Structure 1
Amino acid sequence: MRHGLRCTPGRLRILALLHASGLHLSTAEARTGLARRGKAVHTTTVYRTLETLEAVGLVHAVPGPGPTRYGITGEPHHHIVCGLCGRVAALAREHLTEAVGRIEELTGLRPDASGSLLVYGRCSRCAVRTKGRDAEPGGCGAASEDWTCQARRRPAPSFSLAQPGIFLQ
């Protein structure tokens, strides 16, 4: 019983899925991942479990266009979010050290240890598919499974930040 929660098989399965995938998954993606592993669970149960795990700090939520996505809380990291397809990737803190310093210099806001930047833009897939035209969110058809986690030293997705939005979470 760590974090004040019972260690149930359902909670462990969801944590194992998030850890194994290395991705930030929506409730529906987590439910599908569990079903692929032979553990069919109702979407509401997955949602409630993710919310419970977030409340005690074992997972974190990343808002974006489309559904909220959840990732394992581990090493502090930033997030890049595609404003069109909603894909989320983690980016190790050291990659944005200068940007965080500049934000502090400009605004006086000093992110605390758990503070994370959310950088919104277009992922490379959406940038290619929508080059020269405006696109609606969700319009590129890209799936989050294509991304890997930079916080774990895997290749980072490239972004076109023509209209970026940076927020402190």
Structure 2
Amino acid sequence: MGEHASAIRVAEVMDRFGELSLRVRNRLWEHRLRATPSRIAVMAALARAPGLDRRDTETTAPGTDTPSIPGHLTVPGLQRAIETLDIPLDGVTVYRAVTTLTDVDLIHPVTIRDRASRYGLNHPRHHHAVCDTCGTLRSLPADDVTDLLTSAADLARFSLPDCGALTLHGRCTPCQSNHG
């Protein structure tokens, strides 16, 4: 009976998140892993995360009319976001799902100094800008920094992944205004 209940929950979660669920399931199957409710729920929560992290309220990428890239959340933030989807998961289950999704390159971690890692979707491809003062994390569309990143990788004789390889550190506009 437990197995049947689990299958019903997977089907319910798959139905709720449609195309995202199929993409997650297919990627997991490529690695001979199952699409569990927790894995799909983590992806759904990240897909719904605010596009600009921390205190930003903009809904488009800075200086553009293009929608921002979904945000990045810590494991506790993911757990809270998943609770709003009415899917009860404990922190350990969320952490395990995050680990698996990272291993199969569906999501990536961003670690900022001594703060907890935040996790974001690998699609659309992007990189990061971090405010060292307040911790604001912004996503930079990969296509906008491709030439710069290719030049830097060539200079360093490095091969870089498609997503998350570049993290710029500095001060966001509000912190520049507050700290001169």
**Same-fold call, TM cutoff 0.5:** yes
Q: TM-score range by the shorter chain?
A: 0.5 to 0.7
- Structure 1 stretch displaced more, 119-128 or 62-71: 119-128
User: What is the distance in 2 between the residues matched to 1:41 and 1:51?
Assistant: 15
1: CA distance, partners of 2:124 / 2:157 = 21
Structure 2 CA distance for partners of 1:97 and 1:33, relative to 1, 3 Å: same
Aligned residues: 130
Structure 2 residue identity aligned to 1:49: A
**TM-score, normalised with respect to structure 1:** 0.66
| Structure 2 portions without partners, runs of 5+ | 1-27, 50-69
Measured after TM superposition, the shift of residue 27 of structure 1 is: 0.8
* 3-state DSSP of counterpart to 2:171: strand
Aligned pairs (5 A) from 1:74-153: 74-104=123-153, 107-114=155-162, 116-129=165-178, 131-132=179-180
| Residues 1:28 and 2:73 are matched in the alignment | no
Post-superposition offset of 1:89: 2.2
User: Aligned residues: percent identity?
Assistant: 29
Matched with 2:7 is none
TM-score, reference length from structure 2: 0.62
Higher helix share: 2
Aligned to 1:71: 120
Give the one of 31, 38, 50 matched to 2:98.
50
Partner of 1:158: none
Paired amino acid for 1:12 = I
Query: Is 1:24–1:89's contact at 8 Å kept on the other side of the alignment?
Result: no
**Quick one: distance in 2 between partners of 1:26 and 1:101?**
29
CA RMSD in angstroms comes to 2.2
CA 1:128/1:38 → structure 2, altered by over 3 Å: closer, same or farther?
Answer: farther
Q: Which stretch of the first structure deviates more once superposed, 7-16 or 118-127? A: 118-127
Structure 1 runs of 4+ with >4 Å offset: none
Structure 1, unpaired ranges of 5+ = 133-169
- Post-superposition shift, 1:19? 1.3
Residue 46 of structure 2: aligned partner: 18
